[in-house]
């Protein structure tokens, strides 16, 4: 045994393979077990175990296939499941499937193919989890049809309850081949857990092995427990004795052994009391004082003649010693046996053929049966409290004859569906179709106890769907009518009408019950009549009954429901005539009574029309007799033109068909009645089974009784052959089921053509196809059954008729063999469909066809005993057509020869083509291998570069070329105007302005020192549409220069303007504030931050910025750089990535500098270069190396230097372009060191053009205006060329392969980037610069004033003010800080770093995907770390002690004094006045409208007059 207690094993579970169709679930393999628990359904098949939700949606599934490990070692065998496509050698067949709800487990037991027994305990909520597994037998090993198993609760003496598995196993004869030895009896009790006496699944007791055995052949049908009694039902066959249906009672008390010893038994008799019947299916009826049980019995030892019986199987309660004749607890059968109690059916007998399963339940006073049949039907039968059945209804019907398995189950969740099991699927079928009834009368007349009429919703529905609303339902007794009436005679002449309502409703509605009787004239009832009392009301007629009858309308009130019934009352004595069933029924239905074969007033209110069946009828007519009906078997769609044969049929007017229990009677008219036979239509029905047919006479009586059986509708499964030729008449066979019930076969293109079949059987139907019409290629085939058409799903195409081309006749011995050729087609013609006749000398000879051996395009036939093979022609017949083939001529032979030669030519061409193809394939494979090797090398080199990259860039850059303050500030103020920069900077030795002009400017300067005037002027200018953003920036910078000597005042003005800007944006998006430079104050803020942070920039940040720029420049030059486009292999920007470069190699060269004019040279200088460098690039590298080595630049510029290469003792001049330069099209390639074959370690001499003029002086090609169009370096021009000359260019270059170079560059400069970033957001001595702290506090104060509580808004304001407005400008423009040139390539790399810097201040977390730009992806992993540092930076500034106004004022005054006299304030004032001159009127009006003092307007006018009167000023 394998014990895995406590180990929760998750085993392999397959995905869903079941297909949900309709409300069902189809599964793999045949059904073995179906069980229901809580809200799940569990299904075991031959291949899988399924767990479904209550609405049949798959939750989990397990394969039942696996591997049995150690099969030859009994004690160490293990079964393991395998994956869907894995190898397997065992199948686990489940015979016991029991949900153990109290333990949250599912017990699954059975046997593997080569093993005696196997059990698993699964998680009830997830069957893919195995809690325990063991090789042990519980239940049957083989067939499960005669065995049952269920859980039994045994109450111990201690009061505790133990749960056991009861298995009742079908007895079978042991065979010598059975190697499994088992000690199980026929009835056993097994443990369900380890705490019980013995091991889990053990069937033993404390001291013995309790079990029940039998000698007879026993097949168990059902078992269950009610309270402490266990019930087992079985079929017992002993020898030649007839079968017995046995019931066993066990009292589940004390222990296993006492439970089994308590055996008592009974025998169940069928309705006729005879033995020999078999029990097929069983269902206990829950609830009630008696234990009622229903069973489906077979009366003919088969599955055809079946009936449903109801028994009371309550235990007899006898304590007498009982010894059963069939079952015994002792090892041997006792000598003395007791006689079992004989139980007979009570109350109900329902006969119907083919019943196979039953499920019963109680609903109010009703019992409802769900009956399954072997021909695929689910029938609902309701029985009232008096055990009177209503008419059965069909709930579900399969298209074929699929047997319903015995274990129908109720949906435990909604109680409104049942699970109907079939061989390959389970269907979830509603217990009622209430919604199909559209009005109250139909709803309640249906007599379905599941349905109620919901008054509020005015719909027919389930009762619990009509909550908090008034409802009506049928009572607990059966009645087809909602309202019935009787006319009773209390005494002669005194008549009363009694109205009875057959309804059930809430008790509170009873009080609101009323009836109102009315006629077209006067009220018919006496006023002193009895009061209505639910469910009955009475009307005592006050007038004598009219001779011609009485029409009465009755309005009934039931709560909120109003019923209306119209009664046509007839004088009962007027209903007279020859006594007959029809007359009796007419009398009863008129509310009268039937006594002594005559109609009179009612005296017995209990009478109904069932008593009319005893009335003699047919008097006055010859009694018809029915001999036969053709056909006797029809489909559920009925049959047209059925023939009824018999005697005395002349007076028959109709034929009545009636189902079981006189339900659903239908009458059909007759015609062609000649007294001995007549024709009628057999109507369609809903329920398959047998009906009764009788002949109706004019008096309504019905005579004769012949059965007609309804079967499933015909089903078309295949058509052979699956096509026809267009001329038709091809013999076709339909294969399917119930095809003998087909009346006609039609094709869609010819529906009027009735094609009568030649032969038919239930499985095959043969007919001839009609001819096709033009344009008809596909014609569905339909089967007509009654008035219904069944369409075959197979497509049935029409193809052109077969085309026979030629024949040849050859003599073989004493016989002639004829070979007939036919063009290829899709008809799949067979020899059986052809006949061949050869004509020779006017005489015809039949040719016997030989079955096809060489395909269906050649047919061979033989003529026996004929010597001459010379035939004039042959005649071929197929379908309804005949084709004549004449003797082949010489022309035909020539054509045949050509046709034979064509394949030979094709073969030769194919051979040549394949050889060429092989050669081409070999060549292509070689090219692909070379291409793959190149790409591999590129990827490998990128990986090596990435892993070996070191930050070995120089850090000693010598003196940093900082710009002085005025040049730094002017480039920030006027980034796009060199003229203003020159104008506003006061260089040393600049001439002093004229005193007169200075006086005018001083007057203007005094005016702008007035804050009200200045702010008003700014607002006035910004209101003008012609005052552009460029004007605003220029105005703000000029104002900064003019007020540079008074930065405190400038700060105050800036704060006022910022507050005004914030007020304007307060109703808009506050997060957009200061994001762009679109106003004067925003540019003023940029200038102010630059002025205040220059010292911090130079002292703390400048060195790190210069090191980063230098490192980037060096890294770029480490690899190839295209001289024309400036793209490089090592870069940070994908846009500047040189991915088209060919291979290169590094070179170490010795540079000698010419000293003097006598040929003397300096000591050699080692220079790093690349084989792909141009001459110009080599010059730059030599001079850069010189500057790095000695700390100062070479005394000659690059343009004035030329170089020579030492080769074989002489020096060869190196030129950018020479006569040997490569030319592609009209584009010339710049010469590289590879072009001159400069090797590693070579010597290069550097000469100055001034002291050593070259023999052939050449200017730089870069001076050419069309430099990029005429020349190329590493990127080939877009010109078609012969790559054979240069195989290097054939290599495929993929940009994505070189993206690792971006990462290499990032690694090389990353430490410089980090140092720069941290120098910016680092704080000196834990304090940020005063200006930053002051301005951030200003922003916080404004946010509080504006009631902005969102911390994100404050963060964005600070970010827009400092990083975005200042630091990004510095990072992207190092030429603002240093005396240097910025190349476009360097600008691209700095933009990537600036983007990463700005992302570090972002609040949003950007999710980057595979399509994100590389500049975002490059620093994606670093950004989160930087963000944390930024948050700490902002937090430290916030927590830093505030800067007082006095402190900051001293700082600003110090900055003004430090740079006093560096700017030309007079020139700035002149430029400022130009704006006043342009918008003088607007400024003046703004002053007046804003309520400014008149003195300001006068001063403005005075300034204008002074400037206008200055004739000698030069404004340029």
Q: What is the pTM of this model?
A: 0.58
Average pLDDT value for residue range 296-315? 87
* pLDDT band (50, 70, 90) for residue 1066: low
Q: Is the pLDDT of residue 417 over 90?
A: yes
| Highest mean pLDDT (candidates 82-91, 432-441, 1398-1407) | 432-441
Q: Is the pLDDT of residue 1260 over 80?
A: no
Task: Report which secondary-structure segment, H or E, holds 531.
Answer: none
What is the strand order of the sheet 550-558 is part of? 513-518, 550-558, 561-569
Q: Is the pLDDT of residue 918 over 90?
A: no
Sign of the Cα torsion 1040, 1043, 1048, 1053 reads negative
Contact 974, 1034 (CB under 8 A): yes
pLDDT score recorded for residue 1280: 47
pLDDT tens string 643-655: 999 999 999 999 9
More confident of the two residues 85 and 1114: 1114
Q: Is the pLDDT of residue 663 over 70?
A: yes
pLDDT score recorded for residue 1340: 87
d(CA 360, CA 1492): 101
Output the 3-class SS for 420-453.
EECCCEEEEEECCCHHHCCCHHHHHHCCCCCEEE
Sign of the Cα torsion 521, 526, 527, 532 reads negative
d(CA 345, CA 308): 10
Average pLDDT value for residue range 736-740? 89
pLDDT score recorded for residue 995: 37
Calculate helix-pair angle for 1102-1118, 1384-1399, nearest 10 degrees.
Answer: 130
Average pLDDT value for residue range 995-1001? 57
User: By mean pLDDT, which of 305-309, 403-407, 873-877, 1345-1349 is the weakest?
Assistant: 1345-1349
Contact 740, 891 (CB under 8 A): no
Q: Is the pLDDT of residue 956 over 70?
A: no
DSSP-derived letter for residue 115 is S
Q: CA dist 146 to 234, 245, 277, Å?
A: 8, 13, 16
User: By mean pLDDT, which of 395-409, 574-588, 736-750, 1382-1396 is the weakest?
Assistant: 574-588
CA angle 955–961–962, rounded 5-degree value:
115
| Highest mean pLDDT (candidates 421-435, 542-556, 1441-1455) | 421-435
Q: Is the pLDDT of residue 1366 over 60?
A: yes
d(CA 751, CA 770): 10
User: By mean pLDDT, which of 465-479, 921-935, 995-1009, 1151-1165 is the weakest?
Assistant: 995-1009
pLDDT score recorded for residue 991: 39
How many residues would you count in the chain? 1516
Task: Report which secondary-structure segment, H or E, holds 295.
Answer: strand 292-298
Contact 955, 1310 (CB under 8 A): no
Average pLDDT value for residue range 984-1012? 65
* pLDDT above 90 as % of the chain: 20
Task: Report which secondary-structure segment, H or E, holds 497.
Answer: strand 494-501
* pLDDT band (50, 70, 90) for residue 940: low
pLDDT score recorded for residue 1514: 46
Other CB atoms within 10 A of residue 534 CB? 16
Q: What is the DSSP string of 1436-1493?
A: HHHHSPPPPHHHHHHHHHHHHHHTTTSB-HHHHHHHHHHHHHHTHHHHHHHHHHTT--
d(CA 299, CA 276): 7
Average pLDDT value for residue range 322-345? 83
User: By mean pLDDT, which of 810-824, 1321-1335, 1340-1354, 1449-1463 is the weakest?
Assistant: 1321-1335
Average pLDDT value for residue range 203-223? 83
Q: Is the pLDDT of residue 604 over 50?
A: yes
pLDDT tens string 449-462: 999 999 888 899 99
Contact 447, 381 (CB under 8 A): no
pLDDT score recorded for residue 952: 52
Give exposure, 1113-1123, as e/b (b: 16+ Cβ within 10 Å).
bbbbbbbbbbb
* pLDDT band (50, 70, 90) for residue 17: very low
* pLDDT band (50, 70, 90) for residue 426: very high
Q: Is the pLDDT of residue 1194 over 90?
A: no
DSSP-derived letter for residue 386 is T
pLDDT score recorded for residue 994: 38
* pLDDT band (50, 70, 90) for residue 1516: very low
Q: Is the pLDDT of residue 669 over 90?
A: yes
Contact 138, 150 (CB under 8 A): no
Average pLDDT value for residue range 220-226? 94
* pLDDT band (50, 70, 90) for residue 1483: confident
* pLDDT band (50, 70, 90) for residue 1297: low
pLDDT score recorded for residue 602: 80
Average pLDDT value for residue range 728-736? 90
Q: Is the pLDDT of residue 498 over 60?
A: yes
* pLDDT band (50, 70, 90) for residue 1284: very low
pLDDT score recorded for residue 678: 95
pLDDT tens string 1206-1238: 887 788 888 888 888 888 888 888 888 888 888
Q: Which of 1112, 1093, 1092, 1104 is nearest to 960 (CA)?
A: 1104
* pLDDT band (50, 70, 90) for residue 5: very low
User: By mean pLDDT, which of 197-201, 211-215, 983-987 is the weakest?
Assistant: 983-987
Other CB atoms within 10 A of residue 1488 CB? 13
Other CB atoms within 10 A of residue 128 CB? 19
Task: Report which secondary-structure segment, H or E, holds 1005.
Answer: helix 995-1008
Q: Is the pLDDT of residue 1410 over 80?
A: no
Q: CA dist 910 to 897, 899, 906, 907, 916, Å?
A: 21, 17, 6, 5, 10
Q: What does the mean pLDDT of the chain come to? A: 83
* pLDDT band (50, 70, 90) for residue 1286: low
Q: Is the pLDDT of residue 1147 over 60?
A: yes
């Amino acid at each position: 045994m394998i014990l895995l207690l406590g180990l929760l094993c998750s085993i392999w579970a397959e995905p869903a393979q079941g297909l949900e169709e309709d409300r069902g679930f189809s599964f793999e393999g045949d059904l073995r077990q179906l069980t229901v628990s809580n809200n799940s359904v569990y299904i075991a098949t031959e291949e899988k175990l399924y767990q479904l939700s209550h609405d049949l949606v798959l939750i989990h599934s397990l394969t039942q296939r696996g591997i049995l490990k150690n099969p030859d070692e009994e004690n160490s065998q293990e079964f393991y499941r395998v994956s869907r496509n894995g190898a397997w050698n065992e199948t686990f067949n489940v015979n016991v499937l029991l949900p153990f709800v109290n333990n949250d487990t599912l017990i699954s037991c059975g046997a593997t193919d080569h093993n005696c027994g196997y059990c698993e305990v699964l998680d009830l909520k997830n069957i893919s989890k195995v809690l325990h597994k063991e090789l042990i037998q519980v239940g049957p090993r083989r067939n499960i049809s005669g065995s049952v198993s269920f859980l039994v609760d045994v109450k111990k003496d201690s009061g505790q309850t133990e749960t056991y598995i009861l298995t009742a196993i079908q007895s079978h004869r042991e065979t010598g081949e059975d190697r499994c030895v088992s000690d199980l009896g026929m009835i056993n009790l097994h443990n369900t857990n380890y705490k019980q006496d013995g091991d889990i699944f053990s069937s033993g007791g404390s001291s013995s092995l309790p079990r029940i055995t039998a000698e007879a052949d026993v097949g168990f049908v059902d078992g269950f427990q009610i309270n402490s009694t266990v019930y087992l039902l079985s079929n017992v066959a002993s020898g030649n004795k007839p079968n017995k249906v046995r019931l066993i009672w066990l009292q589940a008390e004390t222990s296993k052994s006492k439970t089994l010893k308590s055996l008592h038994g009974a025998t169940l008799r069928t309705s006729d009391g005879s033995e020999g019947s078999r029990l097929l299916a069983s269902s206990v009826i829950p609830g009630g004082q008696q234990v009622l049980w229903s069973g489906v019995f077979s009366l003919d030892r088969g599955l055809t003649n079946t009936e449903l019986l109801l028994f009371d199987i309550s235990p007899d309660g006898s304590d007498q010693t009982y010894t059963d004749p069939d079952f015994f607890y002792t090892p041997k059968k006792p000598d003395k046996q007791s006689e079992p109690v004989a139980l007979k059916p009570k109350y109900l007998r329902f006969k119907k053929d083919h019943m196979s399963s039953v499920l019963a339940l109680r609903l109010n006073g009703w019992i409802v049966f769900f009956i399954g049949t072997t021909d695929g039907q689910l029938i609902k039968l309701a029985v009232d409290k008096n055990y009177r059945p209503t008419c059965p209804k069909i709930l579900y019907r399969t298209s074929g004859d699929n047997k319903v398995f015995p274990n129908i189950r109720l949906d435990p969740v909604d109680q409104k569906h049942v699970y109907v099991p079939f061989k390959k699927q389970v269907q979830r079928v509603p217990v009622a179709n209430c919604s199909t009834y559209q009005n109250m009368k139909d709803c309640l007349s249906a007599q379905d106890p599941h349905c109620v009429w919901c008054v509020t919703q005015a719909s027919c529905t389930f009762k619990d769907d009509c909550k908090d609303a008034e409802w009506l339902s049928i009572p607990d007794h059966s009645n087809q009518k909602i309202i019935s009436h009787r006319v009773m005679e209390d005494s002669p002449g005194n008549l009363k009408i009694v109205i009875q309502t057959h309804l059930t409703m809430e008790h509170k509605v009873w009080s609101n019950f009323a009836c109102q009787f009315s006629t077209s004239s006067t009220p018919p009832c006496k006023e002193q009549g009895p009061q209505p009392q639910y469910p009955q009301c009475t009307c005592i007629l006050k007038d004598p009954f009219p001779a011609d009858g009485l029409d009465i309308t009755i309005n009934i009130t039931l709560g909120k429901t109003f019923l209306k019934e119209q009664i046509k009352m007839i004088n009962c004595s007027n209903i007279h005539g020859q006594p007959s069933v029809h007359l009796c029924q007419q009398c009863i239905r008129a509310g009268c009574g039937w006594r002594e074969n005559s109609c009179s007033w009612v005296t017995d209110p209990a009478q109904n029309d069932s008593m009319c069946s005893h009335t003699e009828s047919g008097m006055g007519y010859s009694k018809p007799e029915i001999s036969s009906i053709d056909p006797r078997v029809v489909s559920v769609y009925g049959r047209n033109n059925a023939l009824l044969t018999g005697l005395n049929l002349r007076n028959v007017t109709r034929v009545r068909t009636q189902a079981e229990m006189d339900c659903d009677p239908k009458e059909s008219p007759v015609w062609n009645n000649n007294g001995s036979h007549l024709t009628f239509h057999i109507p369609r029905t809903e329920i398959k089974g047998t009906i009764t047919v009788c002949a109706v006479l004019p008096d309504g009586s019905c005579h004769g009784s012949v059965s007609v059986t309804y079967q499933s509708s015909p089903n078309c499964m295949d058509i052979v052959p699956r096509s026809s030729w267009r001329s038709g008449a091809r013999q076709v066979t339909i294969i399917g089921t119930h095809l003998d019930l087909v009346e006609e076969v039609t094709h869609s293109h010819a529906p009027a053509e009735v094609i009568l079949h030649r032969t038919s059987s239930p499985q095959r139907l043969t007919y001839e196809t009609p001819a096709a019409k033009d344009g008809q290629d596909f014609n569905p085939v339909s089967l007509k059954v009654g008035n219904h058409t069944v369409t075959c799903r197979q497509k049935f195409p029409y193809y052109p008729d077969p085309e026979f081309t030629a024949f040849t006749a050859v003599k073989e011995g004493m016989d002639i063999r004829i070979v007939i050729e036919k063009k290829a087609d899709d008809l799949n013609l067979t020899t059986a469909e052809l006949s061949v006749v050869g004509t020779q000398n006017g005489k015809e000879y039949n040719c016997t066809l030989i079955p096809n051996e060489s395909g269906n395009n050649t047919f061979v036939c033989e003529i026996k005993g004929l010597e001459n093979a010379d035939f004039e022609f042959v005649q071929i017949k197929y379908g309804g057509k005949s084709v004549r083939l004449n003797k082949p001529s010489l022309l035909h032979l020539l054509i045949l020869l050509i046709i034979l030669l064509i394949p030979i030519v094709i073969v030769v061409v194919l051979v040549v083509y394949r050889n060429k193809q092989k050669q081409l394939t070999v060549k292509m494979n070689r090219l692909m291998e070379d291409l793959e090797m190149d790409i591999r090398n590129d990827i490998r080199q990128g990986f090596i570069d990435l892993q070996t990259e070191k930050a070995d860039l120089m850090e000693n850059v010598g003196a940093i070329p900082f710009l002085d303050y005025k040049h730094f500030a002017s480039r920030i103020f006027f980034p796009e105007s060199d003229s203003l920069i020159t104008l506003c900077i006061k260089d040393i030795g600049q001439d002093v302005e004229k005193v007169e002009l200075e006086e005018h400017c001083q007057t203007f300067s005094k005016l702008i020192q007035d804050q009200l005037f200045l702010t008003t002027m700014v607002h006035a200018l910004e209101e003008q549409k012609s005052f552009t953003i460029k004007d605003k920036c220029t105005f703000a910078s000029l104002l900064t220069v003019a007020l540079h000597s008074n930065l405190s005042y400038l700060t105050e003005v800036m704060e006022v303007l910022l507050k005004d800007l914030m007020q304007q944006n307060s109703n808009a998006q506050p997060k957009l504030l200061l994001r762009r430079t679109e106003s004067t104050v925003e540019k003023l803020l940029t200038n102010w931050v630059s002025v205040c942070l220059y010292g911090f920039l130079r002292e703390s940040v400048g060195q790190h910025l210069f090191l980063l720029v230098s490192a980037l420049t060096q890294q770029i030059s480490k690899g190839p750089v295209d001289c024309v486009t400036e793209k490089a292999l090592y870069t940070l920007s994908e846009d500047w990535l040189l991915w088209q470069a060919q291979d290169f190699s590094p070179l170490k060269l010795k540079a000698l500098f010419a000293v003097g004019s006598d040929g003397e040279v300096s000591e050699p200088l080692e220079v790093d270069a690349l084989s792909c460098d141009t001459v110009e690039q080599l010059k730059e590298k030599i001079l850069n190396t010189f500057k790095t080595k000695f700390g100062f630049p070479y005394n000659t510029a690059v343009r004035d230097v030329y170089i020579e290469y030492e080769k074989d003792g002489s020096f060869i001049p190196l030129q950018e372009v020479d006569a040997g330069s490569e030319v592609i099209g009209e584009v010339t390639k710049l010469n590289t060191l590879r072009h001159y074959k400069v090797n590693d370690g070579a010597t290069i001499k550097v000469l100055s053009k001034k002291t050593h003029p070259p023999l052939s002086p050449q200017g730089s090609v870069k001076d050419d205006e069309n430099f990029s169009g005429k020349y190329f370096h590493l990127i080939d021009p877009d010109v078609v060329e012969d790559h054979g000359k240069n195989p290097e260019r054939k290599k495929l270059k993929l940009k994505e392969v070189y993206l690792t170079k971006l990462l290499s560059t990032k690694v090389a400069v990353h430490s410089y980037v980090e140092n720069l970033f941290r120098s910016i957001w680092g704080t000196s001595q834990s304090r940020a610069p005063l200006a930053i702290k002051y301005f951030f506090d200003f922003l916080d104060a404004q946010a509080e004033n504006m009631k902005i509580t969102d911390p994100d808004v404050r963060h964005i304001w600070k970010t827009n003010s400092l990083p975005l407005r200042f630091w990004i400008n510095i990072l992207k423009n190092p030429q603002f800080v240093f005396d240097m040139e910025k190349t476009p390539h360097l600008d691209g790399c700095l933009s990537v770093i600036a983007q990463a810097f700005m992302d570090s201040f972002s609040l949003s977390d950007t999710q980057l995907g595979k399509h994100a730009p590389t500049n975002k992806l490059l620093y994606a992993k670093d950004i989160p770390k930087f963000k944390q540092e930024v948050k700490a930076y902002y937090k430290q500034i916030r927590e830093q002690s505030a800067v007082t106004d006095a402190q900051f004022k001293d700082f600003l005054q110090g900055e003004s004094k430090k740079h006093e006299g560096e700017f030309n304030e007079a020139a700035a004032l002149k430029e400022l006045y130009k704006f006043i001159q342009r918008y003088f009127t607007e400024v003046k009006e703004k002053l007046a409208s804003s309520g400014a003092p008149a003195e300001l307007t006068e001063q403005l006018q005075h300034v204008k007059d002074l400037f206008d009167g200055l004739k000698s000023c030069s404004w340029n």
